[in-house]
Amino acid sequence: MPKNKKATSSSSDSDSGPEDRNPPAKKAKPASEPKKGDNNGEEKEWVLERMRLVRINEYRGRRFVDIREHYERDGKVLPGKKGIALSGLQWRKLLEYGPEITKALEE
């Protein structure tokens, strides 16, 4: 047979749990993309195929080779999620492998 539970009296009738004493942390604002003309008046951008572009972007003071698929919305070409950003060191290393990769493609 179940035991009777005694009701406890509390100052709050809410059953939502304890209140947070600390407010949630504010999220950092995302870094904005460099606008056209930030590179001394010339845009560094190359088209590989249709909406697949190579750009030189700067993020947190560092420059990257950004190879990315783009899409168009409201007449603007915007970067998509599919892509990779390579540091200068990674880009140079990839270029070193270029002849080997080309040879492997031809086999």
90 vs 38: which has the higher pLDDT? 90
Is position 96 within any domain?
A: yes
Q: Residue 96: pLDDT above 80?
A: yes
Q: Residue 19: pLDDT above 90?
A: no
Please tell me the predicted confidence (pLDDT) of residue 39.
Answer: 47
Q: Residue 73: pLDDT above 50?
A: yes
Burial class (CB in 10 A: 0-12, 13-18, 19+), 66: buried
pLDDT digits (tens, 9 = 90+) for 21-57: 555 554 443 333 434 444 454 568 999 999 999 999 9
Query: Into how many domains does the chain fold?
Result: 1
Residue 102: in which H helix or E strand, if any? helix 98-106
Is position 20 within any domain?
A: no
- For 84, the domain range is 45-106
Mean pLDDT of 46-70: 94
Is position 22 within any domain?
A: no
DSSP letter (8 states) at residue 3: P
